[in-house]
Amino acid sequence: MENRIVGVYDNEIKGPLAIIIGGVHGNEKAGVKALDLLFKMLEVEPITNKQFKFSGRLVGIKGNLQALSVDQRYISEDLNRIFLREKIESALLQEHPVDEEAELIGIINEIDRQIEEYQPNEIFVLDLHTTTASGGIFTIVNDTPESIKLGLKLDATVIEGFIKDLHGTVLHYFNEENLNRPCVSLCFESGQHDDKLSVNRCIAASVNFLSAIECVEKFHIETIHEEILNNYANGLPKHCKLIYTYKIDKNENFRMKPGFKNFDRIRKNQILATNKDGCIKAPSDGIMIMPHYQEKGSDGFFLVKDVLGEKIPKKSFL
C-alpha cells in the first residue's frame, strides 16, 4: 500500500502541530500534488534563505489512498461523510476493515501517532479539496470563532454554516472534543479538479495557513502561488453564510442544469435543476456553491449569502 504520509517537516523549534490533508476525495489530486511541492519548497528554503525559521511540525497526509489510485471520489462510501464516532468505533472493532473504513482508521491512527509523538499544545488541520464546477475558491470553516478568524487569513472567501448541513466530515471530527487539545480545522476548495492552477492555489492557501498559525514568519517562497490565488479570489465576497442545501434523493433522477459555476448570483424561483417530477427552483436569492456535475455524491447544490458585503481586494505583487 502507498505511503499515507507525504512528508513531515520539523526543525526542532517547538510550535503547533499543523496537519494538511489532500485527496480525501480520490478524484481531487490537486491537494496531494500541492503537498508534494510544498515539502520540496520547505527542503530548499533554508538553503536559499538563511533567515528562514519554522516553528512547530508540519505533517502532510494523503486521504483516500485506494480512491486516489483509481481516480474516483470514493470506493464504497464518501470518506468525508464518515468521520463519525460510531463509524470509527465499529471500524476499529473489525479485524480487517476495507475500503473507506480502512482509510478512516488509517488517517486517524496516523494523526494520533503524530499527536502522541509531538505532544503539541495546539493542533491546526487544513483539508484540501477541489470542485467539479469552476468559478470559485473558498474556505469552509467549522463555525468556531477561531476557525473563521483563521479562514479569513487564507485570502479566499470564507463560508460558514456547512457544518450544520453536512455530517461526518474531516471538519466535524478534528476538534478539541475528539483530540483532547485545542484544535482548529478548516477546509479549502481550490478550484476545478483538473485546473492545473488549483495546485498553485492549494500551495498558496497552505503557505497562508502556516503563516497565520505562526509556523513560519513572512515566507520568502515565491509569491507566484499567492498571486494566482489572489487573481482568482479578488472581487469575491469575503465572508458568506450557507442558507440552503439541496439534498439529492436516491431515486429522483437529479440533473443540474448545465453551465452553473461557483459564485453565480441566483434569483428566487430560477430553475436550477430537474428531477423526475419536473423543475427544481431556487427557494430564494443567493449565491451558487458546488453545483453537482458528477456521478457520485448526494448534495445537489448549496446557496450562500454574503454576510459582510465586503469583497476580497486585488493585491499587488511587485
CB of 129 to Zn ion, least distance (A): 3
Residues between 24 and 63 that touch Zn ion (CB under 5 A): 25, 28
What is the distance between the alpha carbons of residues 54 and 12, in angstroms, rounded to a whole number? 8
Least distance to Zn ion from the beta carbon of 25, Å? 4
For Zn ion, the closer CB: 21 or 183: 21
Closer CB to Zn ion, 97 or 297, in the complex: 297
Region of 23-31, 87-95, 135-143, 234-242 interacting with Zn ion (CB under 5 A): 23-31
Q: What is the rounded CA–CA span in Å between residue 34 and residue 274? A: 36
Per-position x/- string for 113-142, each x denoting binding to Zn ion as judged by CB under 5 A, each - no binding:
----------------x-------------
Residue number with CB closer to Zn ion (57 or 129): 129
- Of the candidate spans 19-27, 92-100, 247-255, 281-289, the one that interacts with Zn ion by CB under 5 A turns out to be 19-27
- Least distance from Zn ion to the Cβ atom of residue 85, Å: 22
Three-class SS of 213-281: CCCECCCCCCCHHHHHHHHHHCCCECEEEEEEEEECCCCCCCEECCCCCCCCEECCCCEEEEECCEEEE
Tell me whether residue 28 or residue 226 sits nearer to Zn ion (CB atom).
28
The bridge status of strand 123-131 relative to strand 17-22 is: parallel
Q: How far apart (Å, rounded) are the C-alpha atoms in residues 58 and 114?
A: 10
Nearer to Zn ion, 7 or 297 (CB): 297
Distance CA 19, CA 58 (A): 6
How many beta carbons lie within 10 A of that of residue 46, not counting itself? Answer: 13
Q: How far is the CB of 30 from Zn ion (least distance, A)?
A: 10
- Minimum separation from the CB atom of position 140 to Zn ion (A): 10
* Single-letter residue type at 14: K
Please state, in angstroms and rounded to a whole number, the distance separating the CA atoms of residues 292 and 300: 5
CB of 116 to Zn ion, least distance (A): 28
Which of these, 16, 205, 23, 229, lies nearest to 107 by C-alpha position? 23
How big is the site for Zn ion, counted in residues (CB under 5 A)? Answer: 3
CA distance 147 to 158: 10
Residue with nearest beta carbon to Zn ion? 129
Residue whose CB is less far from Zn ion, 87 or 129: 129
Cell numbers of 140, please? 469552509
- Residue 146 buriedness (CB in 10 A; 0-12 / 13-18 / 19+): middle
**Shortest spacing between CB 297 and Zn ion, in angstroms:** 9
Using the minimum distance from each CB to Zn ion, give the nearer residue, 31 or 106.
Answer: 31
Angle (nearest 5°) at CA 192 between 314 and 185: 75
End-to-end CA gap in the chain: 45
| Closer residue to Zn ion (CB): 99 or 122 | 99
Instruction: Give the interface with Zn ion as residue ranges (CB under 5 A).
Output: 25, 28, 129
